[in-house]
Amino acid sequence: MKRILMTSALATTLTAGSLAATTTISDVEVDVDLDAIKTYEAAKVWSDLPTDLAAALVLRLNDRIDEDGMTVKIDIDEVALANSFESAIGQAESSLAGRVQLLHGDDTGIEGKNYKTYDLSVTAEQVVAFYPDGFDTKYVAVDSDEYYAAVVSAFADNVASQFE
Protein backbone atom coordinates (compact mmCIF):
# COMPACT_ATOMS: atom_id res chain seq x y z
CA MET A 1 0.00 0.00 0.00
CA LYS A 2 1.43 3.31 -1.04
CA ARG A 3 0.93 6.00 1.52
CA ILE A 4 1.41 9.59 0.51
CA LEU A 5 1.37 12.28 3.12
CA MET A 6 -0.10 15.49 1.87
CA THR A 7 -0.93 18.57 3.77
CA SER A 8 -2.87 21.54 2.66
CA ALA A 9 -2.70 24.85 4.44
CA LEU A 10 -5.91 26.47 3.35
CA ALA A 11 -5.94 30.21 3.39
CA THR A 12 -8.55 32.37 4.96
CA THR A 13 -10.01 35.35 3.21
CA LEU A 14 -8.39 38.67 3.90
CA THR A 15 -10.56 41.50 5.10
CA ALA A 16 -10.82 44.82 3.28
CA GLY A 17 -7.65 46.03 1.63
CA SER A 18 -7.02 43.37 -1.00
CA LEU A 19 -3.50 42.81 -2.30
CA ALA A 20 -4.63 43.24 -5.92
CA ALA A 21 -1.26 44.53 -7.12
CA THR A 22 0.54 41.66 -5.43
CA THR A 23 0.62 37.95 -6.21
CA THR A 24 -1.43 36.15 -3.59
CA ILE A 25 -1.81 32.53 -2.51
CA SER A 26 -4.87 30.56 -1.52
CA ASP A 27 -3.40 27.15 -0.81
CA VAL A 28 -0.12 25.40 -0.01
CA GLU A 29 0.24 21.66 -0.65
CA VAL A 30 3.31 19.62 0.29
CA ASP A 31 3.60 16.00 -0.87
CA VAL A 32 6.05 13.47 0.58
CA ASP A 33 5.84 9.73 -0.08
CA LEU A 34 7.28 8.40 3.17
CA ASP A 35 6.92 4.80 1.99
CA ALA A 36 9.58 5.57 -0.62
CA ILE A 37 12.02 6.24 2.21
CA LYS A 38 13.36 2.85 3.22
CA THR A 39 15.38 4.05 6.20
CA TYR A 40 13.37 4.10 9.42
CA GLU A 41 15.42 6.94 10.90
CA ALA A 42 14.86 9.13 7.84
CA ALA A 43 11.13 8.46 7.77
CA LYS A 44 10.91 9.22 11.49
CA VAL A 45 12.74 12.55 11.23
CA TRP A 46 10.87 13.75 8.13
CA SER A 47 7.39 12.49 9.11
CA ASP A 48 6.09 15.99 9.97
CA LEU A 49 7.68 17.68 6.96
CA PRO A 50 4.47 18.23 4.96
CA THR A 51 2.76 20.01 7.84
CA ASP A 52 5.83 21.91 9.02
CA LEU A 53 6.88 23.13 5.57
CA ALA A 54 3.35 24.24 4.64
CA ALA A 55 3.01 26.09 7.96
CA ALA A 56 6.41 27.77 7.55
CA LEU A 57 5.48 28.96 4.07
CA VAL A 58 2.05 30.26 5.12
CA LEU A 59 3.70 32.12 7.99
CA ARG A 60 6.08 33.85 5.57
CA LEU A 61 3.31 34.70 3.10
CA ASN A 62 0.52 35.56 5.53
CA ASP A 63 0.16 39.06 4.09
CA ARG A 64 -0.45 37.54 0.63
CA ILE A 65 -3.24 35.12 1.50
CA ASP A 66 -6.42 35.46 -0.55
CA GLU A 67 -9.04 32.88 -1.51
CA ASP A 68 -8.56 33.77 -5.20
CA GLY A 69 -4.77 33.48 -5.07
CA MET A 70 -2.37 30.94 -6.52
CA THR A 71 -1.78 27.42 -5.26
CA VAL A 72 1.75 26.51 -4.21
CA LYS A 73 2.47 22.80 -4.71
CA ILE A 74 5.69 21.27 -3.42
CA ASP A 75 6.63 17.67 -4.24
CA ILE A 76 9.57 16.63 -2.06
CA ASP A 77 12.24 14.36 -3.56
CA GLU A 78 12.15 11.32 -1.29
CA VAL A 79 15.41 9.97 -2.72
CA ALA A 80 17.32 13.04 -1.53
CA LEU A 81 15.78 12.68 1.94
CA ALA A 82 16.76 9.03 2.17
CA ASN A 83 20.25 9.60 0.80
CA SER A 84 20.94 12.13 3.54
CA PHE A 85 20.65 9.29 6.05
CA GLU A 86 21.87 6.31 4.08
CA SER A 87 25.21 7.87 3.21
CA ALA A 88 26.08 8.13 6.92
CA ILE A 89 28.27 11.14 6.24
CA GLY A 90 26.59 13.52 8.60
CA GLN A 91 24.91 16.70 7.50
CA ALA A 92 27.63 18.06 5.19
CA GLU A 93 26.16 16.52 2.03
CA SER A 94 22.53 16.28 3.08
CA SER A 95 19.80 18.24 1.35
CA LEU A 96 16.10 18.87 1.06
CA ALA A 97 15.04 18.91 -2.58
CA GLY A 98 11.76 19.17 -4.39
CA ARG A 99 9.76 20.52 -7.30
CA VAL A 100 7.82 23.72 -6.64
CA GLN A 101 4.82 24.65 -8.76
CA LEU A 102 2.94 27.93 -8.64
CA LEU A 103 -0.51 27.43 -10.16
CA HIS A 104 -3.38 29.74 -11.00
CA GLY A 105 -6.88 28.50 -10.27
CA ASP A 106 -7.02 24.77 -10.81
CA ASP A 107 -4.23 22.29 -11.54
CA THR A 108 -4.09 23.25 -15.20
CA GLY A 109 -2.98 26.81 -14.53
CA ILE A 110 -3.26 29.59 -17.10
CA GLU A 111 -4.31 28.20 -20.49
CA GLY A 112 -3.36 24.70 -19.39
CA LYS A 113 0.11 25.66 -18.18
CA ASN A 114 1.67 26.18 -14.78
CA TYR A 115 2.46 29.75 -13.93
CA LYS A 116 5.91 28.71 -12.75
CA THR A 117 7.69 25.43 -11.99
CA TYR A 118 11.20 25.03 -10.64
CA ASP A 119 13.37 22.56 -8.77
CA LEU A 120 14.76 23.65 -5.43
CA SER A 121 17.50 22.05 -3.36
CA VAL A 122 18.60 23.36 0.01
CA THR A 123 21.92 21.99 1.23
CA ALA A 124 23.48 21.91 4.68
CA GLU A 125 25.82 24.77 3.76
CA GLN A 126 22.87 26.97 2.83
CA VAL A 127 21.04 26.51 6.12
CA VAL A 128 23.77 27.79 8.44
CA ALA A 129 22.09 31.21 8.67
CA PHE A 130 18.94 29.55 10.00
CA TYR A 131 20.50 27.98 13.10
CA PRO A 132 19.87 29.65 16.47
CA ASP A 133 22.38 32.35 17.42
CA GLY A 134 25.49 30.83 18.96
CA PHE A 135 24.65 27.32 17.75
CA ASP A 136 27.76 25.21 17.06
CA THR A 137 27.22 23.68 13.62
CA LYS A 138 30.40 21.62 13.81
CA TYR A 139 28.69 18.52 15.20
CA VAL A 140 25.09 18.94 14.05
CA ALA A 141 23.45 15.73 12.85
CA VAL A 142 20.82 15.35 10.13
CA ASP A 143 18.42 13.92 12.69
CA SER A 144 18.72 16.86 15.10
CA ASP A 145 15.85 19.26 15.74
CA GLU A 146 18.10 22.20 14.90
CA TYR A 147 19.04 20.84 11.48
CA TYR A 148 15.43 19.98 10.68
CA ALA A 149 14.16 23.44 11.65
CA ALA A 150 16.94 25.16 9.70
CA VAL A 151 16.30 23.14 6.53
CA VAL A 152 12.54 23.75 6.68
CA SER A 153 13.13 27.48 7.24
CA ALA A 154 15.62 27.78 4.39
CA PHE A 155 13.33 25.94 1.96
CA ALA A 156 10.30 28.03 2.96
CA ASP A 157 12.28 31.29 2.68
CA ASN A 158 13.38 30.41 -0.84
CA VAL A 159 9.84 29.62 -1.97
CA ALA A 160 8.49 32.78 -0.31
CA SER A 161 11.15 34.87 -2.07
CA GLN A 162 9.48 33.99 -5.40
CA PHE A 163 6.59 36.24 -4.35
CA GLU A 164 8.69 39.36 -3.81
Q: Is the CA virtual torsion 55, 56, 59, 61 positive or negative?
A: negative
- Do residues 103 and 109 make contact, with C-beta atoms less than 8 angstroms apart? yes
User: What is the total count of domains within the chain?
Assistant: 1
The predicted-structure confidence for 29-67, as pLDDT tens digits, reads as follows 999 887 777 677 777 778 899 999 999 999 999 999 998
Give tens-digit pLDDT for 76-115: 987 666 666 655 445 566 788 899 998 876 555 454 456 7
Of the two residues 140 and 30, the one the predictor is more confident about is 30
Q: Exposed, middle or buried by CB within 10 Å (0-12, 13-18, 19+), for 74?
A: buried
**pTM for the whole structure:** 0.78
Domain span holding position 129? 5-161
pLDDT tens-digit readout, 148-162: 899 999 999 999 998
pLDDT surpassing 90 at residue 116: no
Distance (Å, whole) CA 100 – CA 119: 6
